[in-house]
Amino acid sequence: MGIFLRFHLQILPNYAFLSLPRAFMFRVAPRLLAAYTAADIQAKLESSAALKPVQSIRVVDVSAGCGSFFNIDIVSPVFQGKSLIQQHRLVNSVLKEEISAIHGFTLNTKSK
């Protein structure tokens, strides 16, 4: 039993060393490379024709600066007469590329 345990302890660090870079490359690295700032997301929303005219947009990074979670508040007359789900789908369609790279966001939409 003692030999078996020693053998596992010798192999485990090598296995962990070989598997961590692969996990990093395929799972973590793409998110780090595609990190967005609050300014990036705000600029994308402001330039979107689907949301014009925009009265106000506020995007706050609430992930301590790492760009993984945002609070987004948008006021636009485009939302008038639309259900909450339709409003959120409209914003999600604008941020489709960014949504795939961030962990999440909260969204508040208003028509005035």
Q: Using an 8 Å Cβ cutoff, are 71 and 105 in contact?
A: yes
Quote the Cα angle for 69-89-82, to 5°.
125
Measuring CA to CA, which residue among 97, 96, 100, 109 is closest to residue 59? 109
> pLDDT for 73-84, tens place per residue?
999 999 999 999
The whole-number pLDDT of residue 8 equals 46
Cα gap 68→112, rounded to integer Å? 28
DSSP state for residue 101 in the 8-state scheme = T
pLDDT single digits (tens) 14-73 = 444 445 555 555 555 545 555 789 999 999 999 999 999 999 999 999 988 888 899 999
Q: pLDDT: is 8 or 64 the higher one?
A: 64
**pTM score over 0.75:** no
**Residue 3 binned pLDDT confidence (cut-offs 50, 70, 90):** low
> Which CATH fold would you assign to the domain 38-110?
GMP Synthetase; Chain A, domain 3 (3.30.300)
What pLDDT sits at residue 4?
Answer: 47
